[in-house]
Amino acid sequence: MMKNILLSTLLLVVLAPCAVAQEHHIEVISDGHQFTEGPLWHDNALWFSDIPANTIWRWQPDSTTEVAVRPSSEANGLIVDHDGQLVMAQHYARRIARLNKDGTQTALATEYQGKRLNSPNDLVLGDNGVLYFTDPPFAISEEQQELSFSGVFALSPTGELTLIDDELHRPNGIILNPQQTTLYVTDAYRWQIFAYDVTAEGVSNKRLFAELDGDYDQGMDGMAVAGDGTLYVAGPEGIYVYAPTGELKETISLPNFTANVTLVETDKRVLYVTNQTEVIKITLNHSN
């Protein structure tokens, strides 16, 4: 059982120009992991992956961190489908899979045009049942790669796999806006976020939403979105907060490797962040 550290402190954030300084409350809720990813708030608990440990963990407030799924086939991104079942982007198995209620797993997507997927990374489910996911080759070698590109895909409720974009270098995080009309995807090591229109006919009108200046050791990664469209993006120096217009509103600075983020909106917005060996809870002290 992983040791929990409940360490409360205040974090002074580094802001974009012309923003007003804010302080947010931060605490480490679980530590001692190898590399955390895929935070998901479900059933009053935080679920998250530890990719090298081949484990999905479950943390509940005022409790401990316990094993939820092991082995996880090195799962990365996690979501819950409309039936309340866990859906995983699995690096080792190179597939999207559903965890059934009896503990078995069902493969939902394993290949495109007869070639194995690279290593599905992150995923989001639309209200219409369409599942969108990214497929960079982070977990495989060049010799193992069968597709000649890193893809962004849409999986229909009937199992039809459609390629949305094959031009991103390393597509990584993926999220829908609250209205389900815009799909956001990060291109990790070009430090860019792209937006696409989502309609009944499909996904189109790719455009650059935002980008960071300079080169960093870490790429842009997972995202969360608030009800008003504010976008929270895990990146090289912490969490980047964007207005729906693409304006960078502030940067919440964090150490180590900030990989992913999910959001719970109550009386205050709460971010759960997977930050390398730790999982961090950030309670925002203002409306953004």
With a cut of 70, say whether residue 282 has pLDDT above it.
yes
Q: What is the per-residue pLDDT for 7?
A: 36
pLDDT of 1 reads 37
- Residue 169 falls inside a structural domain: yes
Q: Which of 81, 30, 84, 82 is nearest to 57 (CA)?
A: 30
Per-residue confidence (pLDDT) for residue 64, from 0 to 100: 87
**pLDDT tens digits for 199-244?**
999 999 999 999 999 889 999 999 999 999 999 999 999 999 999 9
The residue written with tokens 């010799």 in the block is 143
Question: What tens digit of pLDDT does each residue of 171-198 get?
Answer: 999 999 999 999 999 999 999 999 999 9
pLDDT digits (tens, 9 = 90+) for 10-57: 343 333 333 444 689 999 999 999 999 999 999 999 999 999 999 999
Is there a domain that residue 107 lies in? yes
- CATH number of the domain that 228 lies in? 2.120.10.30
Full domain range(s) for residue 197: 74-264
Residue 286: count other Cβ atoms within 10 Å of its Cβ.
Answer: 11
Residue 94 lies inside a defined structural domain of this protein: yes
In a domain, 278, yes or no: no
Q: Is the pLDDT of residue 82 over 90?
A: yes
- The count of other CB atoms within 10 Å of the CB of residue 283 is 15
Per the domain annotation, does 207 fall within a domain?
yes
Whether residue 243 is contained in a domain is answered as yes
pLDDT given for residue 266 in this prediction:
85
What local confidence, expressed as pLDDT, does residue 126 receive? 97
Instruction: Tell me the Cα Rg of the chain.
Output: 18
In-domain check, residue 48: no
Q: Cβ(288)–Cβ(280) under 8 Å?
A: no
Residue 111 lies in a domain: yes
In this structure, are residues 132 and 183 in contact, taking their beta carbons and an 8 Å threshold? yes
pLDDT of residue 22: 61
Q: What per-residue confidence (pLDDT) applies to 117? A: 98
* pTM more than 0.85: yes
How many separate domains does the chain show?
A: 1
pLDDT tens column, 112-154: 999 999 999 999 999 999 999 999 999 999 999 999 999 999 9
Read off the pLDDT band of 63 (50, 70, 90): confident
